[in-house]
């Protein structure tokens, strides 16, 4: 009798699991595991962090493979994945409450930070409770509290010890004074030992670094208002990041999309990314905007996609996924392609053509000349530390190219398939890169959350209108 009951339970469990969208499960677990990997050492190399990273990458690959064959989000899937994400949020909050959210903070302001994180948690709990009179306001409240935490972080760490902040501020100053940001130099803030690790020796000239702004123009244009209007460009990154989370949460009219956004807003190193002033919040916003618009209006998605693909150098490797979504709705492909080309050119050519040689030297060739970083969280760093040999940027190019082709073949040409392809392509590029840190993987986290949020419920169309 007991054997019969066990068989029936196992049969019922197997039948239940068959109705669960395995792609959504894998992508959610991947985002949680990746967040843990970054928390261990703030995105720098540690053997334990690499183990978590490997688990996250395997789950991302599995989620990509399962995307084409997985159905929409059934009721069982929403319950199961919702429970996974909710548990992940609780775990992430625990990590936020037990470690410093940044590197250059005084402990005096941490009680306020932790109180705000507790408020975030309470808001998510209220949302999960589905209380009728607050179900429409809990998510906007979560976004508002997140803005407040970000403002606290910027004020608590006004001068982080990182060259990115210095580069951005000098590039913005050059741009607003009608000088080419690709023909400037910036102050060396590091001592001789750190400078030798971070820069090519030929770039060190006295106390200046003979390198100009090293990213595409779109990432600079997006943050100028923060510096000009509020005195710190990181305010623009903060608002764009929270806006990106809002687009993820409103991607679909479902709790799953809101939880995906909450997962991003509580990932343990999110405020470290804001503190350090990296450009990835801009990239996350544009990916979320492109995914959001793909569900509703493909032509407008083409406009957003054009900006997205030229925001950071590595996003060029997502070009195959971007090109594929042009044909997502065959009748609109001409206008979609036109919009994509127009915005990409409009964001890039004005500065690229100002001094073409300087632009190419800083945006393209500089990336191939930077020193190997053995402290990066990647398999190349592991290989170098174990005497196998030092790789180069070629490994990242090959890995990203292979992942781009594989993910496009493995996923459907839908908004969720697009975001999944972007996540795997960039994940593989960084995991096999010679320069892979917290900011790069933070973008992967944002892409994973976009992919989860873009999945429709069972019976719903992939596209809302248009």
Q: Which of 291, 251, 328 is nearest to 415 (CA)?
A: 291
3-state secondary structure of 209: strand
Residue with the larger pLDDT of the pair 31 and 197: 31
The rounded distance, in Å, linking the Cα atoms of 430 and 69 is 27
- Give the pLDDT band of residue 18 (cuts 50, 70, 90): low
31-35, 117-121, 374-378, range with the lowest pLDDT: 374-378
The rounded distance, in Å, linking the Cα atoms of 251 and 33 is 23
User: In this structure, how many other beta carbons lie within 10 angstroms of the beta carbon of residue 352?
Assistant: 18
> What does the pLDDT look like over 80-102, one tens digit per residue?
999 999 999 999 999 999 999 99
- Give the pLDDT band of residue 2 (cuts 50, 70, 90): low
- Angle of CA points 253, 256, 257, to nearest 5°: 60
Checking if the pLDDT of 361 tops 80, the result is: yes
- Are 73 and 457 a contacting pair, CB within 8 Å? yes
Share of the chain above pLDDT 70, in %: 92
- Are 299 and 336 a contacting pair, CB within 8 Å? yes
Q: Which of 33, 67, 64, 60 is nearest to 49 (CA)?
A: 33
The two tokens of residue 135 are 């179900």
- Are 305 and 325 a contacting pair, CB within 8 Å? yes
Going by the DSSP 8-state scheme, the letter that residue 376 receives in this structure is B
Q: What is the pLDDT of residue 14?
A: 42
Checking if the pLDDT of 5 tops 70, the result is: no
Q: What is the pLDDT of residue 344?
A: 97
The rounded distance, in Å, linking the Cα atoms of 138 and 100 is 26
Q: Which of 142, 84, 108, 451 is nearest to 295 (CA)?
A: 451
Look at the block and give the residue holding tokens 């004020």: 155
> What does the pLDDT look like over 23-72, one tens digit per residue?
999 999 999 999 999 999 999 999 999 999 999 999 999 999 999 887 77
Q: What is the pLDDT of residue 430?
A: 97
- Are 38 and 442 a contacting pair, CB within 8 Å? yes
Look at the block and give the residue holding tokens 């419920």: 457
Checking if the pLDDT of 466 tops 60, the result is: no
85 burial (CB, 10 Å; 0-12 / 13-18 / 19+) is buried
- Give the pLDDT band of residue 196 (cuts 50, 70, 90): low
The rounded distance, in Å, linking the Cα atoms of 83 and 242 is 23
Look at the block and give the residue holding tokens 């001409």: 334
Checking if the pLDDT of 272 tops 70, the result is: yes
For the CA atoms of 215, 221, 226, 232, what is the dihedral angle to 10 degrees? 30
Whole-angstrom CA distances from 350 to 319, 343, 344 are 21, 12, 11
- Are 254 and 203 a contacting pair, CB within 8 Å? no
> What does the pLDDT look like over 289-328, one tens digit per residue?
999 999 999 999 999 999 999 999 999 999 999 999 999 8
3-state secondary structure of 222: coil
Per-residue pLDDT, averaged over 71-81, amounts to: 86
Those residues with Cβ within 8 angstroms of residue 66's Cβ, 6 or more apart along the chain or in another chain: 21, 22, 23, 26
Q: What is the pLDDT of residue 186?
A: 83
- Angle of CA points 280, 372, 355, to nearest 5°: 60
- Are 63 and 27 a contacting pair, CB within 8 Å? yes
The rounded distance, in Å, linking the Cα atoms of 347 and 234 is 20
- Give the pLDDT band of residue 199 (cuts 50, 70, 90): confident
For the chain, give the longest Cα–Cα distance: 83
Whole-angstrom CA distances from 111 to 105, 275, 410 are 12, 18, 46
- Give the pLDDT band of residue 397 (cuts 50, 70, 90): very high
3-state secondary structure of 137: coil
- Kindly report the average pLDDT of the chain as a whole number: 91
The rounded distance, in Å, linking the Cα atoms of 82 and 156 is 34
Residue with the larger pLDDT of the pair 69 and 424: 424
Measured in residues, the chain has a length of 466
Per-residue pLDDT, averaged over 243-259, amounts to: 96
Per-residue pLDDT, averaged over 246-263, amounts to: 96
Going by the DSSP 8-state scheme, the letter that residue 233 receives in this structure is T
The pTM for the full model equals: 0.94
- Are 266 and 93 a contacting pair, CB within 8 Å? yes
């Amino acid at each position: 009798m007991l054997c019969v009951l066990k068989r029936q339970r196992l049969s019922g469990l197997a039948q239940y699991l068959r109705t669960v969208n395995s792609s959504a499960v894998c992508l959610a677990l991947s985002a949680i595991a990746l967040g843990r990997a970054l928390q261990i050492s703030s995105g720098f190399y540690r053997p334990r962090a690499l183990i978590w990273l490997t688990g996250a990458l395997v789950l991302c690959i599995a989620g990509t493979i399962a995307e084409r064959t997985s159905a929409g989000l059934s009721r069982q899937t929403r319950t199961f994945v919702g429970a996974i994400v909710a548990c992940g949020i609780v775990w992430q909050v625990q990590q936020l409450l037990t470690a410093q959210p940044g590197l250059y903070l005084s402990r005096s302001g941490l009680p306020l930070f932790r109180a705000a994180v507790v408020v975030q948690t309470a808001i998510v709990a209220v949302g999960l409770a589905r209380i009728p009179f607050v179900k429409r306001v809990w998510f906007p409240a979560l976004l508002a509290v997140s803005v407040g935490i970000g403002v606290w972080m910027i004020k608590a760490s006004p001068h982080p010890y990182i060259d990115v902040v210095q580069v951005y501020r000098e590039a913005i100053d050059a741009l607003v004074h009608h000088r080419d940001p690709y023909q400037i130099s910036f102050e060396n803030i590091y001592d001789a030992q750190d400078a030798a690790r971070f820069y090519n020796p030929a770039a060190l000239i006295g106390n200046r670094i003979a390198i100009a702004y090293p990213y595409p123009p779109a990432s600079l244009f997006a943050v100028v208002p923060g510096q000009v209007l509020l005195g710190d460009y990181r305010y623009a990154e903060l608002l764009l990041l929270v806006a990106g989370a809002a687009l993820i949460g409103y991607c679909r009219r479902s709790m799953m999309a809101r939880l995906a956004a909450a997962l991003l807003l509580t990932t343990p190193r999110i405020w470290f990314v804001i503190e350090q002033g990296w450009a990835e919040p801009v990239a996350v916003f544009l990916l979320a905007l492109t995914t959001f618009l793909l569900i509703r209006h493909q032509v407008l998605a083409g406009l957003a996609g054009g900006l997205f693909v030229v925001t950071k150098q590595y996003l060029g490797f997502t070009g195959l996924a971007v090109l594929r979504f042009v044909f997502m709705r065959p009748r609109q492909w001409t206008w979609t392609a036109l919009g994509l080309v127009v915005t990409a050119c409009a964001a890039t050519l004005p500065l690229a053509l100002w001094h073409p040689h300087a632009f190419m030297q800083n945006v393209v060739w500089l990336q191939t000349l930077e020193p190997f970083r053995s402290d990066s969280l990647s398999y190349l760093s592991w290989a170098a530390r174990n005497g196998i040999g030092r790789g180069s940027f070629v490994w990242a190019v090959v890995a990203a190219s292979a992942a781009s082709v594989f993910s496009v073949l493995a996923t459907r040409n839908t908004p969720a398939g697009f975001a999944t392809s972007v996540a795997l392509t960039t994940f593989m590029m960084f995991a096999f890169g010679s320069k892979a840190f917290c900011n790069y993987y933070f973008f992967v986290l944002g892409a994973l959350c976009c992919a989860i949020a873009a999945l429709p419920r069972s019976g719903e169309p992939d596209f809302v209108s248009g």
